[in-house]
Amino acid sequence: MMEKQKIKEGIERYLKVKHGVKLKDAHDYQIFNALSLTVLEDIIDNWNNTTETYNKGRRAYYLSAEFLMGRALGNNLMNLGIYDEVKEVLQELNIDLNKIEEIEEDAGLGNGGLGRLAACFVESAATLNMPLVGYGIRYSNGLFKQNIENGFQTECEDTWLKYGEAWSIRKEDEIQIIEYSDMTVKAVPYDVPIIGYKTKNINTLRLWQCEALREFDFNLFNNQQYIEAVSARNKAEDISRVLYPNDTAEAGKILRLRQQYFFSSASMKDIISKYKANFGNDFSQFAKYNVAQLNDTHPTISILEFIRILVDEEKVSFDNALSIAKEFFGYTNHTILAEALEKWDIRLIERLFPRILQIAYQVDYELMKELRQKGYDEGAIWNFKIIANNVMRMANLAIFVGRAVNGVAELHTEILKKIELNNWYKLYPNKFQNKTNGITPRRWLRLCNSELSKFITDLLGNEDWVKNLELLKGLKKYKDDDEVLKNLMKIKHEKKVQLASYIKQEEGIEIDPDSFFDIQIKRLHEYKRQLLNALYILDLYYRIKENPNLDIPKTTFIFGAKAFPGYKRAKGIVKFINEIARLVDSDEVVSKKIKVVFVHNYRVSYAQKLFPGSDLSKQISTAGKEASGTGNMKFMLNATPTFGTYDGANIEIVKASGEENNYIFGLRVEDIEKIKHSYNPKWYYRENPSIKRVVDALINGTLNDGGCGYFEDLYNALLEERDQYYVLADFELFKKEEEKVFKDYKDKKKWAQKCFANLCNAGIFSSDRTIKQYADEIWDIKPITFKDASI
C-alpha cells in the first residue's frame, strides 16, 4: 500500500520537475505522467530485486513482434492493490481518476490477437512469479489510427508517444549494435515494468528502439546538404517507426525484414551477454539457464542470428551451436494461413545479411542429412527444406530447430498434426503440443467490469477468483436462483448503458441500451467473415421492409475492426458494412427495428467497453481457419453466449459451458473437406432468392462504393473466385441460428441462465493456466520470489 501523502507529494513533485507546473494549472496528460512516475518510483526497488533474482536461475524469454498492451495506469494500480487509495487521493485534489485514465494513449505496440495474447502472457507470468522476460520492438508509431470517412476506412499515424511515455525506462548502458551489410544501427532498450496481481515480483518487457549511430553528418550539414545530413538517422528510425509496414512492394518487404532482424539480433545479443555476465563463457550450460519462445514466425530469424553469434563471436563449433539452439527455442504456430507462415526471398536476405543466409544453408544441410539417414526420398525431403525455390521457409526452420511446436487450441493443433504439418508431425511426433490460449482475468474482468467483479466476489465471499479463475465454478450453485440471475442481467444492462454512452461520445451515434447488442469485434480478414454477418443484416433489412412486424427484438449490430492498409478487399468490407448502416438509418420503418454501427479505431481501451456491454459474441470464422481466438474468451468471461462456427477455441468454450448455452452453426472442418473440390457458390446464388438479392445489391446500385470497385470485387470474390471462405454455404445456417437466438432472448430467465453458465465455466480460459502449461511442459521454469515477495 502507498501512503496517501506520498502519492500527493509525488504527483506535485513530478509535475514540477517534468512539466514545470503546479497542480492547479496542470493538464490531464501532465497529471497522468506525474501519477505514473510516482507509482513507478515506488516499485523500482522491487523491480530491480526481481531482475536480480531471475538473473541467478533459469529464465524464459518471450519473443514477439507485437505486445498489444492497452493502457497501463488503471491495470497497474489495480494489480498493485492501490486503485481505491489513488482514486481517493485524486478526489481530495478535485481530480477524476477516470478522466486521467482516459487521457492515456493505448500503447501502439500491437494489432491483433497474437499481440494481445503476448500481453496477457507477460502479465500472467508476473502474477505467477514466473521468470519470464518479454522482448519486442518499441514502435514510435502503432499500426495506424483508423477513421471512417463517408463509410471508407482512412488511416493516419498513431502517435501514441505524443505525451511521452511514463511507464518505461531507457537503458543507455545496455545498447546493442546491429549490423546490416549496408548500415549499422543502435538498438536502445526501453524496459517496461510488468506488474503482477498482488505480488511484489515485477517482470520486464524489454522493447528495442532503433537509432542511428550518429545524430547527423556534421560535414554534410556544414556543406548545407541538410536532407542528406540526416538521411542515415531517418533510415535507422524507420526500422522501429511503424508496426508491420505495408509490404506490397519490395521496399516494404526489405523494411519488414530489417525490422525482424533488428529485434531478433538485439534480443539474442542481450540474452547472450547476460548469460556471460552471470555464468561465464562456457556455453555448454547455456540451455540449462535459458529458453526462448518464438511467438509465430516473425522472430524466427533469431535462430540463425543466435547460431551466428555463437559461431562467429563466441567461437563455438557449428554443431554445438545448433545443438544448443535446439534446446533453447520453442515455436508457437498461430495460424495455418499461408500468408502468415512467412517465406522470405533469399535475394533480400543475401542483400541485408549474407552471413545469415550461409548459416541457413548449413542448418538446411543438417536437416537434409538427418532425413536421408532416416530413409526419406528426395521428393519427400523437398517439402521439409528450409530453403527451396529461392525462398527461406521460416516455419520449417522453427519446427526443425524448436524443442517444441505448439498450436493454440485443440482443433488447431489437430489440424497442424493431421493436415498442415503432418509430414513434420510424423518426423517429430514428440515435439507437437497444444496450449489453448487464455486471457488475463485482471484486465478483462476485474478492471473492465468492476460491477460484475463485485457481484462474483459477493457470491463467492472473497476475491481469490482473480488469481484462480477456476473458482468461478463455485457460482454454479446459484444457476437457478432468480435473484442472482436478475442481478446479473441488471449488471449486463448497466454495462450496455455505459457502452451506449461511450459510443455516443466516440462516434456521435445514439444507440438504444434496451436493444439487443450483437457484437463482432476483431481484426478484419476474409476468413473471420465480417462479410457473412453483413450479408445477413442486409437480408434482415429486406425482410423487415417486406414485413414491418417481423418478430425480432430491437437489435443493434456493432462491428469493430481494422483492415490492413494494403488489404483492398478487407477495406471493401468496411465500406459495405457502413453502406448497410446508412441504408438502415435512412429507412423509417427498418431503423425502428435494427441499427448498424461500425466503431472506429478498434483498440484495447475500446474493447474494455465492448466486451462487458455485449449480449451476443459473434465468432463466425470459416471452420479450420481461426487458430484460437481470444475475443471469444473475453466475451464469455463477461457472461456472454457465443454465436459461432465449430472452430478455434469456440469448440472448447462450448465443451466447457454447454452447447445449449451457446449457438453453433455452419460447416465443420470435415464438411468442408468433403465438399471443397465440388463446391459451387453459384448454385446457392441461383437456388436461394435471399442470397441472390443480397449479393446482387453489391452491383445493382442499391449500395454505393463511390465507383472505387470495392463492391464488384466482393461480388467476384463470392461468385467468380469460388467463395473460398464458404460464406454462401453457411448463409442459411447462420440465418436459422440467429432466429433461434432471437426466440431464446424472449425468455428472460432462460437467457440469463445461458449468460450465467458462460461466466461460471470461463475459468479454464485464464492465461494463468496457459502460462503454467508452457512453464511445466515446454520451458521447465518454476515460480521464483525474491525474499518476502508474496503479499
User: Measured between alpha carbons, how far is 589 from 542 in angstroms, rounded to an integer?
Assistant: 11
In the chain the first and final C-alpha atoms are separated, in Å, by 11
Q: Are residues 273 and 258 in the same domain?
A: yes
Q: Is the dihedral of CA 150, 541, 741, 627 positive or negative?
A: negative
* pLDDT at residue 335 in the model: 86
Q: What is the mean pLDDT of residues 61-79?
A: 97
Amino acid occupying residue 90:
L
Asked about 355 being catalytic, the answer comes back as no
pLDDT confidence band for 221 (50 / 70 / 90)? confident
Strand 343-345 relative to strand 391-393, pairing: antiparallel
* pLDDT at residue 128 in the model: 98
Q: Say if residue 71's pLDDT is above 70.
A: yes
Asked about 528 being catalytic, the answer comes back as yes
User: Measured between alpha carbons, how far is 63 from 131 in angstroms, rounded to an integer?
Assistant: 14
Q: Are residues 96 and 143 in the same domain?
A: no
Name 553's Cβ contacts closer than 8 Å, sequence gap at least 6.
Answer: 515, 516, 742, 745, 746
Cross-strand partners of 555? 516, 594
Q: Are residues 64 and 78 in the same domain?
A: no
SS3 708: coil
Q: What is the mean pLDDT of residues 5-23?
A: 97
Q: Are residues 562 and 486 in the same domain?
A: yes
Name the active-site residue from 446, 634, 735, 754. 634
- Domain boundary pick from 437, 463, 494: 437
Question: Which cell numbers hold the place of 699?
Answer: 452491383
Asked about 575 being catalytic, the answer comes back as no
Question: Which cell numbers hold the place of 153?
Answer: 476506412
Total Cβ atoms within 10 A of residue 767: 29
Q: What is the mean pLDDT of residues 770-781?
A: 98
Mean pLDDT of the chain: 96
* pLDDT at residue 18 in the model: 95
Backbone angles phi, psi at 618, to 5 degrees: -90, 115
Q: How far is CA 41 from CA 2, 35, 52, 356, 735, in A?
A: 11, 10, 18, 42, 55
Question: How many domains does one find in the chain?
Answer: 3
CATH of residue 506: 3.40.50.2000
Q: What angle do CA 371, 375, 380 make, to 5 degrees?
A: 65
User: Measured between alpha carbons, how far is 582 from 597 in angstroms, rounded to an integer?
Assistant: 9
* pLDDT at residue 279 in the model: 95
User: What does the pLDDT look like over 545-590, one tens digit per residue?
Assistant: 999 999 999 999 999 999 999 999 999 999 999 999 999 999 999 9
Following DSSP, what letter does each residue of 634-667 receive, concatenated?
HHHHTT--EEE-S-TTHHHHHHHH-GGGSEE-S-
Asked about 200 being catalytic, the answer comes back as no
The share of the chain scoring above pLDDT 70, in percent, equals: 99
Q: Are residues 82 and 137 in the same domain?
A: no
Strand 343-345 relative to strand 642-644, pairing: unpaired
Q: Is the dihedral of CA 179, 230, 299, 381 positive or negative?
A: negative
Does the residue 284 lie in any domain?
yes
Name the active-site residue from 116, 528, 600, 735. 528
Asked about 630 being catalytic, the answer comes back as yes
Q: Say if residue 483's pLDDT is above 80.
A: yes
Q: Are residues 84 and 128 in the same domain?
A: no
Amino acid occupying residue 325:
A
User: Measured between alpha carbons, how far is 779 from 60 in angstroms, rounded to an integer?
Assistant: 7
* pLDDT at residue 791 in the model: 37
Give the CA radius of gyration of the chain: 27
Name the active-site residue from 71, 241, 334, 446. 334
Poorest-confidence range of 24-33, 157-166, 602-611?
157-166
Does the residue 250 lie in any domain?
yes
Asked about 4 being catalytic, the answer comes back as no
Asked if 341 contacts 327 with a C-beta cutoff of 8 angstroms, the reply is no
Does the residue 674 lie in any domain?
no
Name the active-site residue from 256, 308, 523, 529. 523
Does the residue 470 lie in any domain?
no
Q: Are residues 530 and 387 in the same domain?
A: no
Name the active-site residue from 413, 630, 640, 642. 630
Q: What is the mean pLDDT of residues 756-781?
A: 98
Q: Are residues 162 and 92 in the same domain?
A: no
pLDDT confidence band for 1 (50 / 70 / 90)? confident
Does the residue 91 lie in any domain?
yes
Q: Are residues 98 and 116 in the same domain?
A: no
- The backbone region for 129, taken as left when phi is positive above 0, alpha when psi lies in -120 to 50, beta otherwise, is left
* pLDDT at residue 783 in the model: 97
pLDDT confidence band for 248 (50 / 70 / 90)? confident
Q: Which helix (H) or strand (E) covers residue 788, if one does?
A: none
User: Measured between alpha carbons, how far is 102 from 97 in angstroms, rounded to an integer?
Assistant: 9
Does the residue 692 lie in any domain?
no
Q: What is the mean pLDDT of residues 351-379?
A: 97
Asked if 326 contacts 291 with a C-beta cutoff of 8 angstroms, the reply is no
Using a 10 angstrom Cβ sphere, with 0-12 exposed, 13-18 middle and 19 or more buried, the burial of residue 174 is middle
What is this structure's pTM?
Answer: 0.97
Q: What is the mean pLDDT of residues 498-504?
A: 98
* pLDDT at residue 216 in the model: 83
Does the residue 387 lie in any domain?
yes
Q: How far is CA 403 from CA 203, 316, 331, 518, in A?
A: 24, 20, 8, 42
User: What does the pLDDT look like over 280-339, one tens digit per residue?
Assistant: 999 999 999 999 999 999 999 999 999 999 999 999 999 999 999 999 999 999 988 777
- For residue 83, the enclosing domain spans 1-56+73-106
Name the active-site residue from 522, 571, 593, 625. 522
Cross-strand partners of 520? 559
Q: Say if residue 789's pLDDT is above 50.
A: no
Q: Are residues 21 and 153 in the same domain?
A: no
Following DSSP, what letter does each residue of 665-687 receive, concatenated?
-S--HHHHHHHTTT--HHHHHHH
Does the residue 473 lie in any domain?
no
Q: What is the mean pLDDT of residues 59-86?
A: 97
Q: How far is CA 656 from CA 480, 659, 660, 682, 758, in A?
A: 18, 9, 11, 38, 8
Q: What is the mean pLDDT of residues 441-470?
A: 98
* pLDDT at residue 124 in the model: 98
* pLDDT at residue 790 in the model: 41
Longest dimension (CA), the chain: 82
Angle between helices 710-719 and 689-696 (to 10 degrees): 150
Beta strands in 213-335, from DSSP E residues, in sequence order: 290-295, 329-332
Q: Are residues 517 and 546 in the same domain?
A: yes
Q: Are residues 288 and 154 in the same domain?
A: yes
Using a 10 angstrom Cβ sphere, with 0-12 exposed, 13-18 middle and 19 or more buried, the burial of residue 470 is middle
* pLDDT at residue 506 in the model: 98
Q: Is the dihedral of CA 358, 362, 365, 371 positive or negative?
A: negative
